[in-house]
Amino acid sequence: MIELQWGQVAWVSGTLAIAASIQGVAGFGFMLIAAAGLIQLYPAQLVVPGLALVYIPLGIAQTFQVRRQVDVPLLRAWMLSALFGLLPGTLILTAVDSLTMKRGIGVVMMILAILLRVRPGEPVASERFARFGAGLLSGALGASTSVAGPPIVLFGIKQRWEVEPFRASLLAYFTVLSAVIVLLQHQFGLVTVETAVWAAGGLPGIVVGFVVANLMRDKVSDGHFRVLGVALVFGSGVMALLF
């Protein structure tokens, strides 16, 4: 069984504190930032299911705060489409070696960071079909890299959905999706005692990030947090390719 050293606990908790703080203000970004920082030291086969596991309590707490604003039909549509991508994503994670996954996640991080800064253009007319595609890709990325948010976020921005219900629905979606990913990946032997111990090492950071986000939400614009988050993700993606 894995035994985390204090230095490892500090690194995991510190990374998760930053990720949770940014997500609490901007409404997304936890998995992007956390995965980008943690794959530098840990194999993807540990990071991906571990992040899904440790995110659940944070997601429940954040969703509870905005529960009245969640768009339930939209949440249902996202989950139904994401389910089609979960199994392929999990198979990729189990079949690909750790170094290749690290490099692949690095490339994905860089691409998504760039896309998040690109103007999305006009809304698409056939929303149902495009929404299904975004959900499917979100599920596949979530299961293989832990990063499920950008396809949904980019599509929502493009469609110009109302901000507060969109943000609340995102938080609920990430929470439900993480729980489903943990259940599925447990069946593939990816969620183990080692995963649980590693995730437990990040719980102090989750608590700190949740508190910091609540204190800063009304004092710092989400735009500044998004720029910081994108910069961190892009830089970590470069590091994953080079080191």
Across residues 51-71, what is the average pLDDT?
92
Q: What residues have CB less than 8 Å from 48, skipping those under 6 apart?
A: 35, 93, 143, 144, 145, 146, 185, 190
Q: Name the phi and psi angles at 226, rounded to 5.
A: -65, -40
Domain extent listing, the chain: 6-242
User: pLDDT tens digits, residue range 142-156?
Assistant: 999 888 888 888 788
pLDDT at position 224: 62
CA distance readout (Å), 109 to 35, 133, 171: 9, 19, 20
pLDDT of amino acid 3? 55
The Cα 233–Cα 102 span in angstroms is: 14
- Copy the structure tokens of residue 40: 């530098």
Amino acid at position 65, single letter: Q
Span between the terminal Cα atoms of the chain, in Å = 27
Q: How many CB atoms lie within 10 A of CB 237?
A: 25
**Alpha-carbon distances, residue 83 vs 40, 119, 134, 152, 195 (angstroms):** 29, 28, 12, 14, 23
DSSP for 57-123, please give it.
Answer: HHHHHHHHHTGGG--HHHHHHHHHHHHHHHHHHHHHHHHS-HHHHHHHHHHHHHHHHHHTTS---SP
Full-model pTM? 0.85
pLDDT band (50, 70, 90) for residue 108: confident
> What is the model's pLDDT at position 129?
87
Q: How confident is the model at residue 90 (pLDDT cuts 50, 70, 90)?
A: very high
pLDDT of residue 29: 78
Give CA–CA dist 86/95, Å, rounded: 14
What pLDDT, on the 0 to 100 scale, is given for residue 240? 66
Model pLDDT for residues 165-189, shown as the tens digit of each residue: 888 898 899 999 999 999 999 999 9
